[in-house]
Amino acid sequence: MPADTNFPEADLDGCTVVFDLDGTLVDSAPDLHRALNVVLGEMKLPAVELADVRQSVGLGARRLIERVTAMHGVELEDAELERLTGRYVEVYASDISALSTIFPGVVETLEWLKRCNAKLSVCTNKRTALSRQLLGALGADHYFADIIGADAVANRKPHPDHYRAAVAAAGGEVGRSLMVGDTDADAISAREAGAPVALVEFGYTETAPALLGADAVFSHYHELPEITLRLLRVA
């Protein structure tokens, strides 16, 4: 965040801001890429490029494995897909933050939101335990009232129930909440729950964020405070 950026004074008491994790708060693709190529190597399949992983992260580990192996012409039975997903998670979790970094401006923005009395939570299609482990390893878990992974709900993103659960876990109300994400799953989940959506331009999506129907799109976190106040209609 530029040193001369001054965040506005505001009172967000009663408001909830929900964040996606991978591609929104954390650039985790390098570690996901590392783990995936270990698994592909064990399968005697060629490694994939980092760009392929960045476009396939949003729907979770199992779908990532399924999609990338299909790129190599391999169709997996459910049992084998489950085994490979487990192996991938094992490799990933063994050194979860080796190459991952929090995006620029995230910490300053989270600090601002906390100073403004906002409630914060995470709504991610990553498994809950892995999400807690990653944010803990990066020293950012304490900002959030709760972290709701795909395994914590019956219907994960893009279903609106996942977003509703993340808001409720923070003690908030959907009518006074905002989703910050990077993919169509984030946009659909919040929009169908009745909440506004702000998408980052630098996340993990095949479709340009501007085409996903968000209420705002931003390229740096120093833009999010103004967007938050506008979308939550805070004077």
Distance of CA 132 to the CA centre of its chain: 12
Q: Is 80 exceeded by the pLDDT of residue 5?
A: no
Catalytic (active site) residue 20? yes
Specify the CATH class of 29-94 in words: mainly alpha
Query: In the predicted model, is pLDDT for residue 192 greater than 90?
Result: yes
32, 85 contact by CB (below 8 A): no
In this model, does residue 128 exceed pLDDT 90? yes
Query: What is this structure's pTM?
Result: 0.93
The pairing of beta strand 216-218 with beta strand 197-200? parallel
Report the alpha-carbon distance of residue 133 to residue 42 in Å, rounded: 25
Q: Where are the domains of the chain?
A: 16-28+100-231, 29-94
Name the CATH superfamily housing domain 16-28+100-231.
HAD superfamily/HAD-like (3.40.50.1000)
Q: Which helix (H) or strand (E) holds 133?
A: helix 128-137
Distance, CA of 212 to CA of 228 (rounded, Å): 18
Backbone φ and ψ for 58, nearest 5 degrees, come out as -60, -25
Predicted local distance difference test score (pLDDT) of residue 63: 86
Question: One of 13, 20, 151, 161 is an active-site residue; which one?
Answer: 20
Confidence of residue 60 (pLDDT cuts 50, 70, 90): confident
> Which strand (E) or helix (H) includes residue 79?
helix 78-94
Residue type, 170: A
CA distances from 173 to 109, 155, 170, 209 (A): 21, 19, 9, 26
